[in-house]
Structure 1
Amino acid sequence: MINTFSSNLKSYLYLFPLLFGIFIAADDQTVIVTILPELLMDMKIGINELDKASWTITGYLIGYTAVLPLMGNISDKIGWKSAYIISLLIFGLGSIFIVFSSFFTDIFPHYANYSYWFMVFSRFIQAIGGGALIPISIGAASKIVPKLSSPIVFGLIGASAEAGGVIGPLWGGIITHFVSWEWVFIINIPFIILTIVLILKYPKVERKKSKIDLFNGTIFALFIAASTLGFSRIGYQDNKMYLFFIISTLLMILMI
């Protein structure tokens, strides 16, 4: 019994790099909540511009969800290790861009008005990398430790995402208590490097000769993005909300 427990524990620990990557990405989805006041002050966004401020969250949510339907096939095509590492690098690049956005005005004074939107764009890039990690991990987990039952694997992946989302605001509050908000994203870089090093230690992955359905995957991604934008406007009940819902409906019809 002790040997069985030890073997199962090693199998669970073998999943740690995958789960840690998911945790970091989910953490950055909610960490923005506590650093937002300081961030908006640096970006010179007024308290009366809450509609504009909400894009720091909406932009990440769109990127995080839109990439989900595409990554399963891509992961099979290029191998889950390559897909996971590329996703982490995209997530890291977005983190670097976010830090850079705080210096955007100093470097490009004539484009100072675009510094905030560059930060929103950076959040979107970051979210594309972060959102891709969950579908890649679901497919990879069964290949890494096939002896584990699927419910346990899915539970660990879901728990990692939920834990990151819960701890995010607390983590942001702790960081900004001691240093500036940029450090929330700077700290991502060593964590990403550590995760990539651990992922590289996994055995060589076989690639499948699968066809990537880019058309339907892209349509579905656009449907998710349009729906997310529509729901984000419900509180305003304006023409933009109706436009996004009309677009999402047309895209849904196109998928049928």
Structure 2
Amino acid sequence: MRADEDTAREGTARAGAARDRRRIAIGAGGAVVLLAALDAYVVTTVLVPVVKDLGIPINRLERVTPVLTGFLLGYVAAMPLLGQLSDRFGRRPLLQACLVLFAAGSVVTALAHGVPLLTTGRVVQGVAGGALLPVTMALAGDLWDERQRPVVLGAVGAAQELGSVLGPLYGAGIAAALDWRAIFWINVPLVAVAVVAVQFAVPGRRREGPRPGVDVVGGVLLAAGLALLVAAVYNPEPEESALPPWGGPLLAAGALVLAGFVVWEIKARTRLLDLAEVRRGPLLATLGVSLLSGAALMVTLVDVVLVAQTLLGKDPVDGALMLTRFLVALPVAAVAGGLAARRVGERWPMAAGMAIAAGGYLLIAAWPADLAGASYGPLPRMDVDLVVTGLGLGLVIAPVSSAVLGFVPAARHGVASAAVVVARMMGMLLGISALSAWGFYRFHALTADLKPPLPFLMTKAEFAARLKVYNAAVQDALRAEYQEIFWITAGMCALGAVLSLAVATRRVS
């Protein structure tokens, strides 16, 4: 009897130690996810100080667009290959290698004195950051069973969204207290601490079983196709047309390369995402939801801050504080979405979240000119609309990840997790590129007939009156531009709600 009790006690102790190791491992993974997320969103609120430091006119913000898209492009381009490499060689070495590369990119960014070098540094950061979230998600898939996994993935998603909450405030605060370059210098000691934490917390062994291959050709084709599409919609002269002169040819080339990527993935023996024995319809619908939610997220991060600074006259810190209404709701809803997915499955939380987000964007598109004074009874309208939108997008995070991991065997969790984040970041990348091009073009079209008054041959009073009329017309043009962008975003979320109905989780042992 005593021997049985001792054995049971030892078994309980071992199980408890295993649980503790799992929690420490996912905690370390969540910390590096947070680090990458901070830098993914930090630039959105310091664009004005950056363009001033680089000598770019404040009315030519389109010239700094590559700084935003460069990080996202590196993130998306590298992520599938890095997910496959983590399946092949293990989670720990990939996390550590990418953290070191992330620090190198931070140093390049901090030293940059022009848009090309600044963009290069951000691309390197994006490439390195492209592994941190999917590898941590795959680690959750390795260490937790299918029933508990949605909650853990919701927590990892919450860490990612916490970065989106803190990133804009973090960047604006450091830029105000020190300098925008200090944001990236601080990454170096943070990465050193993270490398040590990963070494001691994350399991070093690779999953048992045959080593999956690595699809280098597929990764290069995907990266090249996306790069061509992003270059096609980057327009340094938006007052002339929505697309640059090279836009049409590059769009065609990008579509052709991506078509080649699809053909390669069908015929290749080793693929970025092996769809053998997977129901492709529900999987592609889930990735479509991830893409559309990513596009909506990035539009919000950029355009809400621009609304604050251009229409409401707020500084970068106040603009970041305004955005927190939306951002604080994201991690809260990410955890709630994980809990809901565990109880009712992934389909309904995804559909509800995208539908709620669509309604939120319609409310934002209808913001009145006197936004500061608008309210729903005792509640400020701006706060309510942003919280509703954030809750909607947050609900989608965990169910999307959980559904995709349920479609594929455990040996492919790394690349499956990467596929979720790739789809989301592709949405962020293409969404901000296309909608920014459209927005800048629409603004220049709406203001083409406006001529600023000149203080010659008129009295000061007359000049002041004409300047007031001119500024009001510019504000109306900005408001119309933002309204159209948020209408389009609401439509994307409604499409995501419809796609969610096609998702039915198929578990694979």
Structure 1-normalised TM-score?
A: 0.83
- 2:192 — aligned with what? 193
**Alignment correspondent of 1:66:** 77
1:252 partner SS: helix
The corresponding residue for 1:120 is 119
Q: Which residue of 2 aligns with 1:75?
A: 86
RMSD of equivalent CA atoms? 2.8
Structure with more relative contact order (C-alpha pairs < 8 Å, separation 6 or more): 1
Give me the whole-angstrom Cα distance separating, in 1, the residues matched to 2:90 and 2:25: 18
Q: Distance in 1 between matches of 2:28 and 2:250?
A: 38
1:195-234 to structure 2, matched below 5 A, reads 195-201=194-200, 202-206=202-206, 209-230=211-232
The secondary structure found in structure 2 opposite 1:139 is helix
Q: Distance in 1 between matches of 2:94 and 2:26?
A: 16
**Secondary structure in 2 aligned to 1:44?**
coil
Measure how far apart 1:232 and its partner are: 5.4
Q: d(CA) in 2 for partners of 1:238 and 1:99?
A: 30
CA contact (8 A) 1:22 1:134 kept: yes
- Residue in structure 2 matched with residue 184 of structure 1 by the alignment: 183
1:19-30 residue pairs with structure 2 within 5 A?
19-30=30-41
Q: Which moved more, 1:20-29 or 1:225-234?
A: 225-234
Q: Does the Cα contact within 8 Å between 2:36 and 2:129 map onto a contact in 1?
A: yes
Residue 185 (structure 1) shift? 0.8
Counterpart of 1:47 (choices 55, 58, 65) is 58
Q: Which stretch of structure 1 is more off in the superposition, 192-201 or 8-17?
A: 8-17
**Equivalent residue for 1:248, pick from 249, 254, 258:** 254
Q: Which moved more, 1:163-172 or 1:232-241?
A: 232-241
CA separation of 1:78/1:35 partners in 2, compared to 1, >3 Å: closer, same or farther?
Answer: same
Mark the CA change 1:232 to 1:211 in structure 2 (over 3 Å): closer, same or farther: same
Residue 146 of structure 1 deviates from its aligned partner by 5.4
Q: What is the aligned partner in structure 2 of residue 175 from structure 1?
A: 174
Take 1:5 and 1:180, find their aligned partners in 2: how far apart are those partners?
46
Which residue is 2:101 aligned to?
A: 90
SS of residue matched to 2:46: helix
Tell me if structure 2 keeps the 8 A contact 1:69–1:221: no
* Closer/same/farther in 2, CA of residues 147 and 48 from structure 1, 3 Å limit: closer
In the alignment, the residues of structure 2 paired with residue 148 and residue 200 of structure 1 have an alpha-carbon distance, to the nearest angstrom, of 28
Deviation, structure 1 residue 143: 2.9
Specify the code of the residue in structure 2 equivalent to 1:35: V
Deviations along 1:110-133, whole A, 9 cap, x unmatched?
Answer: xxxxx3211111111111101221
1:110-189 residue pairs with structure 2 within 5 A? 115-145=114-144, 149-189=148-188
Inter-partner Cα distance in structure 1 for 2:250 and 2:152: 36
Listed one character per residue, the Cα deviations across residues 174-212 of structure 1 (whole Å, up to 9, x for unaligned) are 111211111111111222111111110133312652221
Q: What CA distance in whole angstroms lies between the structure 2 residues aligned with 1:20 and 1:204?
A: 18
Gaps of 5+ in 2: 1-12, 264-509
The answer to whether the 8 Å contact 1:31/1:171 transfers is yes
* C-alpha distance in 2 between matches for 1:170 and 1:156: 21
Change over 3 Å in CA distance of 1:7–1:69 after alignment to 2: closer
Cα 1:216–1:5 shift into 2, 3 Å:
same
> Aligned partner of 1:204: which letter?
G
- 1:176 to 1:182, Cα distance in 2 relative to 1, 3 A: same
Letter in 1 for 2:99: L
Deviation at 1:54, TM superposition (A): 1.2
The 8 Å contact of residues 138 and 154 in structure 1, kept in 2 or not, is answered as yes
Counterpart AA for 1:240: W
Matched residue SS, 1:54: helix
Q: TM-score with structure 2 length normalisation?
A: 0.44
Match of 2:477 in 1: none
Tell me which amino acid in the other structure corresponds to 1:140: L
Note closer, same or farther for the CA distance 1:59–1:183 as it changes in structure 2 (3 Å cut). same
Query: Residue 51 of structure 2 contacts residue 64 of structure 2 at CA under 8 Å; is this kept in 1?
Result: yes
Other structure's SS at 2:179 match: coil
Q: Distance in 1 between matches of 2:148 and 2:232?
A: 38
| Aligned residue number for residue 25 of structure 2 | 14
Change (3 A) 1:163 1:226: farther
Superimposed CA distance per residue, residues 54-105 of structure 1 (whole angstroms, 9 cap, x where no aligned partner) = 1110111111111122112111222211111111111110001111214xxx
Q: Counterparts of 1:203 and 1:245 in 2: how far apart (Å)?
A: 43
Deviations 1:205-238 (A, max 9, x none): 1265222111112212223333444455698233
Contact 1:70–1:218 under 8 Å retained in 2: no
Deviation at 1:136, TM superposition (A): 1.6
Whether contact under 8 Å (1:67, 1:221) holds in the other structure is yes
Letter in 1 for 2:45: T
* Partner Cα separation in structure 1 for residue 17 and residue 205 of structure 2: 25
Is the Cα–Cα contact under 8 Å of residues 82 and 130 in structure 2 kept in the other structure?
no
Q: Percent identity?
A: 25
